[in-house]
């Protein structure tokens, strides 16, 4: 399968995973969903590593720890937002990670005293946050500002996880090993949350089926997206990745009867434009091994 088609399929799978997360949120706490998503990912990556003849042993345990910490935190926040916001809104706020990366680049340049700060990056940042303002306005009117801010924070922390993924890729870690230890982090974080929320019994087959679907969809989509970024053109991949928002919008309208206002739609368009602009500028400046996805599905 070519890289563009892998991106389209990955975006569809991530949006479908969002549907399953939203449905599972009616039965389970966010931490439990993260736990089962991690458990499924660990089993799949263990099998994948054996099939590929690879090993899960690593000499970069500390790097994997910090990558998992930021990635799992972003994942927990994002799953929480999906359970409490319209699906397309939660998806869009998580896709702000590219804009956050642009903000980090500008902030780093200022802190280092660089005389040249790329004005185009500043423009993408302003465009992205204008989109955030339009998206969060309806959530304020519906008393969902807290959930909206959680979704926004998930995108910011996803951007920090990108730094660790890039560093691990440069160190020669294969994608299955990165996903494996990320999934281990999900198991640990999810198990810890059950100390406060308790463990929900599986009363019907629907609940376990949804949890299994979340893990399968997320892991397969993550591998497809990582492979696409490793073999395809960065800007093409970034453009197709935003199809996830369109898929989520259709799912939300058809399955959950969600009504997206014109203000939210305008905000989504601005965030997509800002994300594409930031991806283009970053791809021109970043080395080839730094083009992996920032998505923490």
DSSP assignment of 52-91 equals: HT-----S-HHHHHHHHHHHHHHHHHHHHHHHHS-HHHHH
Instruction: Classify residue 257 as left (phi > 0), alpha (psi -120 to 50) or beta.
Output: left
DSSP assignment of 238-284 equals: HHHHTHHHHHHHHHHHHHH-----HHHHHHHHHHHHHHHHHHHHHHH
Report the pLDDT value the prediction gives residue 294, as an integer from 0 to 100: 46
Report the pLDDT value the prediction gives residue 140, as an integer from 0 to 100: 59
The predicted model scores a pTM of 0.85
The C-alpha angle with vertex 28 and arms to 26 and 32, in degrees rounded to 5, equals 150
Distances, alpha carbon 229 to alpha carbons 38, 127, 242, 259, 285, in Å: 23, 25, 14, 33, 16
What is the four-CA torsion angle of 272, 69, 140, 253, rounded to 10 degrees?
Answer: 50
Report the pLDDT value the prediction gives residue 141, as an integer from 0 to 100: 60
Report the pLDDT value the prediction gives residue 138, as an integer from 0 to 100: 65
Helical packing angle, 61-84 and 87-94, nearest 10°:
150
Say which residue the tokens 């980090």 belong to.
104
Average pLDDT for runs of 10 along the chain of length 297? 86 95 94 96 92 90 92 94 90 84 74 69 83 76 80 88 78 87 94 91 92 94 78 72 87 87 85 81 55 51
What is the Cα–Cα distance from 35 to 192, expressed in whole angstroms? 9
What is the Cα–Cα distance from 268 to 86, expressed in whole angstroms? 13
């Amino acid at each position: 399968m070519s890289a563009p088609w892998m991106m389209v399929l990955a975006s569809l799978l991530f949006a479908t995973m969002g549907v399953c997360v939203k449905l599972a949120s009616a039965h389970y706490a966010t931490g439990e969903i993260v736990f089962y998503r991690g458990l499924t990912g660990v089993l799949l990556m263990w099998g994948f590593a054996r099939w590929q003849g690879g090993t899960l042993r690593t000499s970069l345990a500390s790097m994997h720890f910090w990558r998992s910490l930021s990635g799992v935190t972003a994942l927990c926040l994002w799953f929480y937002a999906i359970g409490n916001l319209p699906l397309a809104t939660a998806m869009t706020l998580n896709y702000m990670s590219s804009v956050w990366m642009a903000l980090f680049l500008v902030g780093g340049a200022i802190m280092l005293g660089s005389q040249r700060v790329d004005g185009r990056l500043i423009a993408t940042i302003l465009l992205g946050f204008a989109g955030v303002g339009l998206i969060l306005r309806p959530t304020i009117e519906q008393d969902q500002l807290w959930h909206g801010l959680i979704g926004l924070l998930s995108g910011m922390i996803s951007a920090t996880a990108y730094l660790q993924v890039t560093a691990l890729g440069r160190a020669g870690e294969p994608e299955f090993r990165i996903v494996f230890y990320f999934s281990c982090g999900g198991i640990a974080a999810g198990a810890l949350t059950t100390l406060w929320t308790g463990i929900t019994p599986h009363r019907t087959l629907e609940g376990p089926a949804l949890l299994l679907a979340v893990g399968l969809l997320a892991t397969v989509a993550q591998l497809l997206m990582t492979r696409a970024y490793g073999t395809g053109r960065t800007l093409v991949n970034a453009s197709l990745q935003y199809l996830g928002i369109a898929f989520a919008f259709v799912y939300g309208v058809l399955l959950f009867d969600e009504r997206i206002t014109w203000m939210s739609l305008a905000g989504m368009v601005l965030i997509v434009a800002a994300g594409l602009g930031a991806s283009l500028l970053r791809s021109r400046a970043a080395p080839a091994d730094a083009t992996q996805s920032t998505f923490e599905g």
